[in-house]
Structure formats: C-alpha cells, structure tokens
A = this chain, B = another copy of it.
Amino acid sequence: MRVFIAGIDGYLGWPLAVYLSARGHQVAGADLLLRREWVAEVGGISALPIASREQRMAAFKEVAGVELDFRVGDLTDYAFVKRFFAEFQPEAVVHLGQMPSAPYSMMDRAHCVWTQQNNIVNNLNLLWAIKEAAPDAHLIKLGTMGEYGTPAIDIPEGFFDVEFRGRKDRLPFPRQAGSWYHQSKVHDSHNTHFASKIWGIRATDIMQGVVFGTRIEAMGADPRLGTRLDFDQCFGTAINRFCCQAVIGHPLTLYGLGGQKRGFLPLADSMQCLGLAIENPPGAGEYRVFNQFENAYSISELACLVQEVAASIDIAVEIRRYDNPRAEMEEHYYNPDRQHLIDLGYQPTHDMRSVLKAMLLELLANKDRIEAHADVLIPDIRWGGGRKRSEVIG
C-alpha cells in the first residue's frame, strides 16, 4: 500500500516509516524538521543521538532497498501538499505532522496561537488535498486521549448512545481537553468528522495514549534507523522522562498528587496499532474513532514501576512530588474503552517491565547527554500563565 506520513521525521513518524516499509508498504513523507528546533528552543536534546534526514534516507535505502521520498516541506503550504499527493497518489495518509506538546502550547500567546493555527491549517490542508488529489485515500489522523479530558463516566470510542428526556440519539462524545495543544486536536477531530460527512472521506481518528519507549524490532542494529527520545518539560512525556531521570539519579518528578490516570502504550504497540488501522481501512465516508493505548495507569503507579525496574539493574532513584504547574484533576475516575483495535487484532505488550529495562539500559549508555541538559527536567510553564519553577512538595 502507498502510505504518506506527515511528520516522517518525528518520534513516531520515523519508526512508522521503518515499520511499514518492513511490512512491504511503499512509504513517502514530509516534514519541516521543526521538532528538532522546538526541542532546542526549550533547552532540550534527544537523549538518544539521532541521524540527520540525509543519514536516515541513506540507511532506509540500504535496509529497504528502495529510495525513500522524504521531502522537507510545510504542511500549511497547500500547493506543496497537493502536488505531493498528486504525484505519490497515497492510499493511506497518516497525520503525525503537528506540534504535539501541551506545555509548549501553554507558554504564552504566541505559542498558543501558533500551535492552533499550525495544527488546524495543516489538518485542513490534508483533508482538502485528499478531496482534490487522492479522494479514495484513507486518512489516519493522530488525535490524543487527552481530547476527552477526565469525565466521571466511561469514555467510549468517539461516540455514545445517549438517552435525554426520554429520547435517544448516538452523539459524538464530548471533548474537554486540558491545553491549547489538546484543544487543537479537538478542533481537528471536529473538522475531520465534518469532511468525512460532506465529502465521503474515509477517516480513522486515533485517540492515542502517551507513548513510551525507544525500540521497535524493524530498526535492527542500525543506529541511523533509531528514533529520538525527549526528556524536557515540553516534549518529554511521563515514562520517557522518568527513565531519563532514573539513569542520572534525578528524583522522578510527579506533578501534584500523582493520581492522574492516563492511557499509555509502548512504541512497538503504537506501530502495531497504526499498521492495523492502515491495513484495515474504513469504507468510503466512514469516520471511525479508535482509542489507542495498552492500559490506563496512574502517574504515581508508573513512577513506582520505573523505580522498581531501575532497582533491578542497580539504579537507586527517589520519587518526589512537585507542585503541579498544570490545571488538572489529580484524583479522578478514568475508564476508557479500547476495543476497536483489539477487534482488528491488536495484541498489547503486557510486559512493561522488559520494555522499561531495555529503555533504561539504552539510556544509561547516553547518560552524559541527559546530565548536560538536566535543568530542563523541572517544569516552569504554568497553566495559569507565566513561568515559575515547580518546587518539591513531598
């Protein structure tokens, strides 16, 4: 299948190119390489060294035996997107090409507006380019479980049956996102659903949990096929950040009580799920929503797990509570569905300990990189506005 990856240089985009190619698909993609700039902007660095675009393309050719059509371009530039689609004629379009950080979007007005403008416009451009240049293509749009927020009821996959004042309807499940970034994804979900209705676009809207991990099998031993791993307050998500903290002996940073629950999944599971979505497209005009995660965990539970696995390889690390820079509930009900991908054959990696152990060992070999940037481990971007470094509260 011809698969176009928007954001092919990113944490997920690059492994997806490697994974899909290994499964026999023809991959092409675009990226403006902004993730590399954003991480530098906030003082971070990938804990694992990553290859340049040119090195990645060379490695891809050696391993896959084909040229990778990986173009540097801006998805908010419609002419670029439409031309690419007209030439490549994608059968599937995976949209990973957005600014993906909540704290980055919360920094100030400029970052808030830029995030929403960039994400909304580039998603609209993909929808229009599918309509105008590749109308049968299947859009796999990366949303986030964060779109739903933390309602006090179960979270279905996109839609639910409601009874209200004696009448019934099937409605989109309400979204209550907790950052300007997450809101941009909510807007994209609404726009994608609408495009599917009026133009018959086939779309899978993926509400993905937080991804962690560094490896998938298809990367093999070639370091140029590896992906990035961030640990700064903006781009370092919970488990990845904990593992980086552990290997340099920095306390694991819980925000507030640590009772926040979220869906998580290993990188290999994310690839497996995206592959299933791509290889099992919906019908024309069908808009479907997949909740994509291995399981739901509380943040403090995960910190304890990282602590335990670290101890097993003789790394001692503390867990500390920091005052929470975010506005979020720290103890709450959380029970999201995750059946659609299981029905397609998703086999969750239940052995989280071995994933964590592999990560910790790989990061240990790169601890100098993390130590040199350790000041980005403590958050200071406040949901209420402004910057103030979080302090230890317990």
Contacts and interface: CB of A to CB of B under 8 A. Distances in A.
Interface string A189-209: 011001001110000000000
A171 B199 contact: no
Interface string A179-191: 0100100110011
B128 A124 contact: no
Interface string A52-79: 0000000000000000000000000010
A159 to B, nearest CB: 9
Contacts of A340: none
A174 B165 CA distance: 16
Interface residues of A, number: 49
A82 B117 CA distance: 20
Given A154-B165, A171-B176, A187-B187, 6 more contacts: A113-B121, A113-B124, A175-B190, A177-B194, A180-B194, A186-B187
Copies in the complex: 2
Nearest to A382: B198
Interface string A154-173: 10100010111101110111
Contacts of A151: 169, 171
A373 interface: no
B187 A384 contact: no
A129 to B, nearest CB: 9
Contact of A167 (B128, B132, B154, B173): B154
Contact of A190 (B162, B173, B187, B194): B187
B198 A177 contact: no
22 contacts: A78-B109, A109-B128, A109-B132, A116-B120, A117-B120, A117-B121, A151-B169, A151-B171, A152-B169, A153-B164, A154-B164, A162-B164, A167-B333, A171-B174, A177-B190, A180-B191, A180-B194, A183-B187, A183-B191, A183-B194, A186-B187, A198-B384
A32 B227 CA distance: 47
Contacts of A78: 109, 113
Interface in A114-168: 116-117, 120-121, 124-125, 128, 131-132, 151-154, 156, 160, 162-165, 167-168
